[in-house]
Structure 1
């Protein structure tokens, strides 16, 4: 009987010891959690050393981007962050564009002119945005026409007044497929002598019935004037992802009673940037087809490029 009691006393003592150890570990974790949360208070200043150049901001700013943001993860309180003797956090990265990265986190905007053409800068900034996991910044950069190629299907633009393309209130359409993933960045519309207003759609349609719309990828309005020349380029507000396999349709409805130049001698197959664009046989309500009419050119960006 005494042996059983001794065994029970031992078990109770061990259980108490384990309970005390668990309690102490819980206290340690709570203390650590409190310390981390205190260090990473949203309003507190943080100094980042980016490749030798220091930037000061707040924890709240660094947390502004959603996952998979590297900076949000670093200062979320979920991870220990090493600091230098001066309290700064070192990131081994080129600092040239970090100021722009930081401004994006502060404002949610990319401070770059809409018509800017410094694509080298944009690509460098995009590389930094990808490194820091800032998908919103990547998306804004991708709206600019870097690495864009023109896919021209029109062999000629007929500007003869007697051959003008009349808009009758029905749609001009072309149907096409692509051989590799790419992004549709812009659409070329035929120029005009007098001006016209157009409603434009980019659609995904059924392969065996082009009149069945599966998805509206984009729709918008555009006014073409005589100042646009032979072809008016309509830049899309955001890239439209095109894939190998689906069938796409461009649709244009010009204002009834107006007219434009006409695209003639159109190619049924155009190769641009290594992507084969094939126009399907299709006679649209306002007579545009694979050989003539509207949509003289497209602007695409090959996916997987720089």
Structure 2
């Protein structure tokens, strides 16, 4: 606890000291840091957002960004924890790691389970489709109207977006992640593979022409999402400090240079939307 806490508590009297000590207790992440333990960052294999390198080291623009913000805060003892996408929120809540750096979109349903930093990226959806896009699938309405099969990752925000557009649940195939999305489209088991535009663009590049990327401009504005860094609700004290450091770093020349190799540029900056707004509107 800092000196400012004690000044407030003393001014409020002995009873306020006792009550304030409980309210201001450090969260579990600060307890770990004060005990000399590493900050554990959890992420899945989601190129180019966050993924393990050849030696398991954290790669991707969200990892690079988060590690840089933590360094600005004075923390460099970082431990990467790789898991499946669907295990990120459960793993955070079960204390298997301390921060989600996977490039997770801020959604109302997720805000009910964890706390998010202020947005660090604005991200649109996209599809991979068979070469030439024979069914002309550019958005979720097209998938519904064509009675097409869509594949996406378990827990992805694309599931909610597709349902909101009227795509029936039996037309939404859920798989563990990007590798399986690509395999389903290449094998013809799905007509469109949905993910963030960053993800599907990378899949198309890796397919040697087997699949194409749909036109990102065909997606309606309300399918754009804002990504944030995930924290436990109990770590609000740490999250407040993270947001303060992020506010100075986000959009700086230093930050843009750090994430440029992963395709993040000025067009990906989140704008003026707040986490409060996104939680209420997504």
TM-score in terms of structure 1 length: 0.21
Q: Which has the higher contact order (CA 8 A, sep 6+)?
A: 2
Instruction: Return the structure number with greater helix share.
Output: 2
Considering only CA atoms, is the larger Rg found in Structure 1 or Structure 2? Answer: 1
TM-score of the pair, normalised by structure 2: 0.23
